[in-house]
Amino acid sequence: MGVVRWVGRGALVLVGSTAVAIGGVYAQSERVIGAKGTPPTRQALVVRRDSATLALGEKLTVTNGCQDCHTASLGGKVMIDDPAFARVIASNLTAGDGGALARYDDRALDAAIRDGIGSDGRKLWIMPSAEYASLADADVAAIIANIRGRAAVANVMPERVARPVVRALFASGKLPLAYDLIDHSRQTRAVAPAGGTLEQGRYTAIGCKGCHGANYAGGEVHGAPPGTPLSPNLTPAGRLSQWTQPEFVRAIRTGRRPDGTTMSDLMPWKAFSKLSDDELQGLYGYLRTLPSTQSPKS
């Protein structure tokens, strides 16, 4: 009987400690989920509605991946609904039923795009603001003009839900929110660099960091659910260095690599195909200047 009592007490201790650990994870993840960001003080954008600005905004919502998450109509969708991971929502950005646009003025849209702050002041979850933080003022203004010019879409979205895996990642700091990765004291540039230059290539390549990493060496995709394939290495240590400039441009235009294989749907080549030849050549030239870095995982 003594052994039985000892085992029983051990089981109770184990159950109690597990409950405490789960409670701690929940409490810490709630703090992360409820945390608010502080928008920086900067000059308000000038958002024009002329045809050139709207055309640029249309292009940028494609090339920066806005439509990949929020759909071509910007009406939003459920991106992930995994019972262990989370339910992740890409909001309806239009003025239709269920849309978020009425909650945002231009300054708030800028803060959402470049600072990762929602209309309620809380830090956004899986929003690539760490990449968009370096967008030029004129480009962000064009994106906002495009969003405001879109047709209203009626799409009432379900609530986002943090489930065990995401809560554990939040609580452990292994899934930092974009807001916490951004230098909010940075100076913004007025306009994007000219096409075809290495500086323009550097500017365009910022959008590659979300999947390919801060040093472009590939590996695990930040914020992606378990099982997501590793992203390839874009530095000279990867196979991209074996491609010529025309092959690189053709691959982005067609989604087919020089060896004839097809790019994964995870690679937004259709979006990048909207870039001009000068922009793609600048991007290729910049990637060739990167330090040769081995992928962290391969």
Query: Residue 15: which pLDDT band, with cuts at 50, 70 and 90?
Result: very low
CATH number at residue 247: 1.10.760
What's the chain's average pLDDT? Answer: 90
DSSP 106: H
Sign (positive or negative) of CA dihedral 169, 173, 179, 183: negative
Task: Please check whether residues 129 and 157 belong to one and the same domain.
Answer: yes
- In the block, which residue shows the tokens 């960091």? 209
Which of 125, 156, 181 is the C-terminal boundary of a domain?
181
Is residue 28 domain-resident?
A: no
Task: Please check whether residues 157 and 84 belong to one and the same domain.
Answer: yes
Q: Confirm if 225 and 83 have CB atoms less than 8 A apart.
A: no
Sign (positive or negative) of CA dihedral 272, 277, 280, 282: negative
What are φ and ψ of residue 98, in 5° steps?
Answer: 90, -5
Q: Confirm if 217 and 294 have CB atoms less than 8 A apart.
A: yes
Task: Please check whether residues 176 and 223 belong to one and the same domain.
Answer: no
What is the model's pLDDT at position 1?
53
Domain count along the chain? 2
b/e per residue 263-297 (b: at least 16 CB within 10 A): beeebbbbbbbebeeebbbbbbbbbbebeebebee
Which of 181, 211, 233 is the C-terminal boundary of a domain?
181
How many angstroms separate the Cα of 55 from the Cα of each of 187, 192, 245, 278, 279? 26, 15, 27, 18, 17
Task: Please check whether residues 154 and 234 belong to one and the same domain.
Answer: no
Task: Single out the residue of 213, 196, 218, 192 nearest to residue 286, CA to CA.
Answer: 196
Is residue 124 domain-resident?
A: yes
Range of the domain at 100: 51-181
Is residue 193 domain-resident?
A: no
Task: Please check whether residues 63 and 169 belong to one and the same domain.
Answer: yes
User: pLDDT tens, 58-102?
Assistant: 999 999 989 989 999 999 999 999 999 999 999 999 999 999 999
Does position 19 have pLDDT exceeding 70, yes or no? no
* Cα gap 54→138, rounded to integer Å: 11
User: pLDDT tens, 108-141?
Assistant: 999 999 999 999 999 998 899 999 999 999 999 9
